[in-house]
Amino acid sequence: MQFTFAHNNFNVLNLKKSLAFYKEALQLTEVRKYEAPDGSFIIVFISDGKMPHQLELTWLKDRKEPYNLGDNEFHLAFKVDDFAAAHALHQKMGCICFENKTMGIYFINDPDDYWIEIIPQKR
């Protein structure tokens, strides 16, 4: 028996805004979408186009209040080949929420305040 990663899920309040953020900040694009026949939810899977792992964004029609993310101790991590350019982009976007210069990493937060760690390719 062997298990492999498939995807992670983030629930989002504004699907259009989240999709735009992930495209601009991390170049993730939609690979498939499912809309519930009754309109109660939409699920969109996004990918970097290189790795099989995907991020599932779930929008629930009746959800109006922000999700409780606790202490935000869980996160996704992305490696980037041009750390300085990524940092400049994220600084321009205003989405850097924490930096650890000693470790050489930083975190960005998405529109729903999920944290994403940015790591240089060569660590």
| Model pTM score | 0.92
Q: Position 51: which residue type? A: M
Nearest-angstrom CA–CA distance, 40 and 46: 20
Q: What DSSP element (H or E) covers 54?
A: strand 54-60
Q: Position 85: which residue type? A: A
Q: What DSSP element (H or E) covers 24?
A: helix 15-26
Q: Which fold has domain 1-63?
A: 2,3-Dihydroxybiphenyl 1,2-Dioxygenase; domain 1 (3.10.180)
Sign of dihedral through CA atoms 108, 13, 60, 22? negative
pLDDT by 10s per residue, the chain, length 123: 988 889 999 999 999 999 999 999 999 999 999 999 999 999 999 999 999 999 999 999 999 999 998 887 788 999 999 999 999 999 999 999 999 999 999 999 999 999 999 999 875
Nearest-angstrom CA–CA distance, 113 and 97: 9
Given this structure, which CATH class describes domain 74-123? Answer: alpha beta
Stretch(es) of the chain classified as CATH 3.10.180.10: 1-63, 74-123
Q: What DSSP element (H or E) covers 105?
A: strand 105-109
Task: Dump the DSSP string for 67-84.
Answer: P--TT----EEEEES-HH
